[in-house]
């Protein structure tokens, strides 16, 4: 890895930058094909930016459906034909049993799979519905989950492996709120969204517990824009849905969607 490339990335991202660079080098010089685990959008952006520097390497991203957030990647020499390469993604439907009336959310299903000893990067998007959850996972671990996942947050569940064509994509659940803020600064908007004083929201930002579009952001004064997704460790995440203009008093009207 050339040290000058590090200036483009946050220090916390350097281990992934090193891994991605190794995949690309092996494709370019060793003629190897690498199928990665699931990448978050920021990791996919990093891998894409590095691959774009190397014309002898090609990259294919896929997450099981077109709008997927988490995706696997194939890194390969540019001469390889990838259209027939399997994506390596399986669909597991997790359905509630006799206690299915209890409301289970994304963190419940994710926590249950992590509790089986599965690493986060082996799990893709989870589509939570009222009576079941469609889980996209690395094909290599699908049978293991199908055999061992029998409980989610005290609810007994049933599992079945289905073709990807059976996937039911859920609309994201957002609690919409309209704010009037002095500016589009990260700390100002986040303090209103989470109902925390600005002085208290600054600490987690500076401590590296905030991400904007999946990239670590430690500057409280960073301006947000329409479409930005902001997450705080322990607080959840929200999306800037629209910036709706300025009031007569010079404040900015913003519509926020808080993920629930």
For the full predicted model, state whether its pTM sits above 0.75: yes
What distance in Å separates the CA atoms of residue 72 and residue 39, rounded to the nearest whole number? 6
Provide CB contacts within 8 A for 108, sequence distance 6+.
Answer: 152, 153
- What are the residues whose beta carbons fall under 8 Å from the beta carbon of 191, sequence distance 6 or more? 197, 198, 200, 201
Question: Domain spanning 174-259: which superfamily?
Answer: RNA-binding S4 domain (3.10.290.10)
Q: Are 92 and 106 within 8 A, CB to CB?
A: no
CATH code for the domain defined by 89-166? 3.30.70.330
Whole-angstrom distance, CA of residue 177 vs CA of residue 96: 32
Q: What is the dihedral of CA 184, 188, 190, 195, to 10 degrees?
A: -140
The domain defined by 3-77 folds into Ribosomal Protein S8; Chain: A, domain 1 (3.30.1370)
**Domain locations in the chain as residue ranges:** 3-77, 89-166, 174-259
Each of the 260 residues of the chain gets a pLDDT tens digit; together they read: 566 677 778 888 999 999 999 999 999 999 999 999 999 999 999 999 999 999 999 999 999 999 999 999 999 999 999 999 999 999 999 997 545 456 888 889 999 999 999 999 999 999 999 889 999 999 999 999 999 999 998 899 999 999 999 999 998 888 999 999 999 999 999 999 999 999 999 999 999 999 999 999 999 999 999 999 999 998 999 999 999 989 888 899 999 999 87
């Amino acid at each position: 890895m050339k040290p000058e490339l590090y200036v483009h990335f946050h220090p916390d991202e350097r281990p992934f930058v090193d891994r991605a660079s190794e995949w690309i080098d092996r494709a370019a010089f060793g003629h190897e094909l690498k199928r990665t685990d699931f990448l978050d959008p920021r990791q996919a952006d990093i891998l894409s930016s590095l691959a774009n520097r190397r014309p002898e390497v090609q990259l294919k991203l896929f997450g099981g459906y077109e709008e997927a957030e988490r995706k696997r990647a194939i890194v390969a020499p540019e001469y390889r034909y990838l259209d027939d390469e399997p994506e390596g993604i399986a669909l597991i439907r997790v359905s509630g049993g006799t206690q299915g009336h209890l409301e289970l959310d994304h963190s419940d299903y994710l926590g249950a799979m992590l509790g089986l000893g599965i690493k986060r990067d082996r799990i893709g998007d989870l589509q939570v519905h009222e009576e079941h959850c469609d889980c996209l996972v690395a094909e290599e671990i699908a049978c293991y989950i199908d055999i061992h996942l029998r409980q989610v947050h005290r609810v007994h569940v049933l599992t079945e492996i289905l073709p990807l064509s059976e996937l039911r994509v859920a609309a994201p659940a957002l609690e919409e709120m309209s704010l009037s803020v002095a500016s589009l600064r990260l700390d100002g908007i986040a303090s209103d969204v989470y109902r925390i004083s600005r002085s208290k929201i600054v600490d987690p930002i500076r401590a590296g517990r905030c991400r904007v579009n999946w990239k670590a952001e430690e500057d409280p004064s960073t301006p947000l824009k329409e479409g930005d997704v902001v997450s705080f460790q322990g607080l959840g995440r929200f999306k800037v849905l629209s910036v709706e203009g300025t009031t007569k008093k010079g404040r900015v009207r913003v519509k926020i969607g808080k993920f629930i």
